[in-house]
Amino acid sequence: MVVFEKPHALTDVPMHYCPGCLHGIVHRLVAEVIDELGIEGKTIGIAPVGCSVMAYNYFNCDMIEAAHGRAPAVATGVKRADPENHIVFTYQGDGDLASIGMAETVHAAARNENITVIFINNAIYGMTGGQMAPTSLPGQVTQTSPYGRDPKLCGYPVRVCEMLSELEGPEYLERVTVADVKNVRNAKKAIKKAFQNQIDGKGFSLIEVVSTCPTNWGMTPQKAIDWLKENMLAYYPLGVYKDRSAAKEEAK
């Protein structure tokens, strides 16, 4: 009896991620959803610049590598080129999506582009060695804030879901985490809904996954999970920030 299988939408190669990195879990959830929805043949993923830059090696579907932060713009073009036959997702870190790519994120959401955005918020630039991100917490020590992020000097962290929820455009915004089993299950539900929304033509869905970076946070994987729960979730509360279809149903 088969009790465990790799999703077909994941390639059979070892991933390069650091021990304790949560990118692998989110890759798996996205792949499970692609399998369950039977969309592997029509799915096109857009990889970012960041630790998941090589996501094109891990997903079995077609993948495109975008310039840093430009994944939503590339996704827009790919989706609009053949809206009936392309299911398009972007997979982006917080440096990619909320710093250099903020404009693309905001305008794709404002246009309600019919794409699915998977946003991994680990409060740091992982790939380049742990510099401060727009999402680094006040007081967080990083390579470029060695005394802790000082909001007077560096401003306050950006809460992407809250900010986008003020726009008329987006269909669905939810913040989840994969820090424990219950939350992994919930994250999968949210990711599945974000893909289903696209299939149903509902528009822009963004799932923010609150994540860790044990290597650049300078912590063991377990300590990083504890730090996420104690610090990240206080600043980035989990939940649905916008669900236009559900709101319409309720209003009926």
Ligand X SMILES: Cc1ncc(C[n+]2csc(CCOP(=O)(O)OP(=O)(O)O)c2C)c(N)n1
Tell the smallest beta-carbon distance from residue 245 to ligand X (Å).
30
Tell the smallest beta-carbon distance from residue 249 to ligand X (Å).
35
Q: Closest CB to ligand X among 105 and 122?
A: 122
Q: Closest CB to ligand X among 143 and 222?
A: 143
Tell the smallest beta-carbon distance from residue 49 to ligand X (Å).
5
The position carrying tokens 């650049």 is 216
Q: Closest CB to ligand X among 39 and 117?
A: 117
Window contacting ligand X (CB under 6 A); options: 34-42, 70-78, 124-132, 144-152: 124-132
Tokens of 69: 């932060």
Among 7, 20, 126, 214, binds ligand X (CB under 6 A): 126
Shortest-Cβ-distance residue relative to ligand X: 93
- Residues contacting ligand X: total by CB under 6 A: 19
Q: Could you say whether residue 128 binds ligand X (CB under 6 A)? A: yes
Q: Closest CB to ligand X among 39 and 66?
A: 66
Binding mask 172-211 for ligand X (x = CB under 6 A): ----------------------------------------
Long-range contacts of 62-65, Cβ-Cβ distance < 8 Å, separation of 24 or more = none
DSSP state of 231: I
Binders in 37-96 for ligand X, by CB under 6 A: 49-52, 68, 93-96
Report the alpha-carbon distance of residue 208 to residue 120 in Å, rounded: 6
Answer whether 173's CB lies under 8 Å from 241's CB: yes
Report the alpha-carbon distance of residue 109 to residue 166 in Å, rounded: 10
What are the C-alpha distances in Å from 8 to residues 11, 23, 92, 242? 7, 18, 22, 31
Tell the smallest beta-carbon distance from residue 252 to ligand X (Å).
40
33 Cβ contact list (under 8 Å, min separation 6): 188, 191, 192, 195
Residue 81: HSE in the Cβ half-sphere, 13 Å Cα cutoff: 11
Tell the smallest beta-carbon distance from residue 136 to ligand X (Å).
10
Tell the smallest beta-carbon distance from residue 18 to ligand X (Å).
10
Answer whether 173's CB lies under 8 Å from 242's CB: yes
222 CB burial (10 A radius; 0-12, 13-18, 19+): exposed
- Footprint of ligand X on this chain (CB under 6 A)? 49-52, 68, 93-96, 100, 120, 122, 124-128, 133, 213
